[in-house]
Structure formats: structure tokens, C-alpha cells
């Protein structure tokens, strides 16, 4: 059984796999934004943080 959530950027529908886990990354098919599952109860997604280069610091 798949579940869908709303993209926090474009409000498009994003389908979640049946066995979704907290911390899983998904991509919005409408705008391409990478989303992170931040909570399973209630089911919540947020824009995934950008990975920044630390340049060895």
C-alpha cells in the first residue's frame, strides 16, 4: 500500500514506498526537490538539507 504526501515546495503529490523509513530521501516528480521523511507519525516530509563541502575543515 502506497501513501502520498504533499511536496513542501510545489505542493505536488509525492508517492511514498510501502516500507518508508524515517530519514529516507525522496524526489518530488513535479519540481525535482529532494525531500526527507522527518517523521512517520504523523507522516511529515521537509526539504532535505543541501550537502555542503567542508573543504577539509
pLDDT of residue 52: 63
- Is residue 53 assigned to a domain? no
Residue 1 has pLDDT above 70, yes or no: no
Instruction: Say what the pTM is.
Output: 0.79
pLDDT digits (tens, 9 = 90+) for 46-57: 999 877 666 665
Give domain status of residue 57, yes or no: no
Average pLDDT over residues 14-30: 93
Asked if the structure places residue 34 within a domain, the reply is: yes
**What range defines the domain where residue 15 resides?**
3-47
Q: Does pLDDT of 33 surpass 60?
A: yes
Within-domain flag for 14: yes
Q: What domain count does the chain have?
A: 1
Assess contact for 37 and 16: CB atoms under 8 A: yes
Does the residue 55 lie in any domain? no
Q: Identify the band that residue 18 occupies on the pLDDT scale cut at 50, 70 and 90.
A: confident
For residue 20, what is the domain's CATH number? 2.20.28.160
Spacing of C-alpha 28 from chain mean position: 8
Amino acid at each position: 500500500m502506497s501513501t502520498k504526501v504533499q511536496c513542501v515546495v510545489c505542493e505536488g503529490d509525492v508517492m511514498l514506498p510501502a516500507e518508508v523509513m524515517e530519514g529516507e530521501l525522496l524526489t518530488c516528480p513535479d519540481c525535482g526537490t529532494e525531500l526527507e521523511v522527518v517523521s512517520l507519525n504523523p507522516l511529515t516530509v521537509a526539504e532535505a538539507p543541501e550537502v555542503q563541502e567542508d573543504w577539509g575543515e
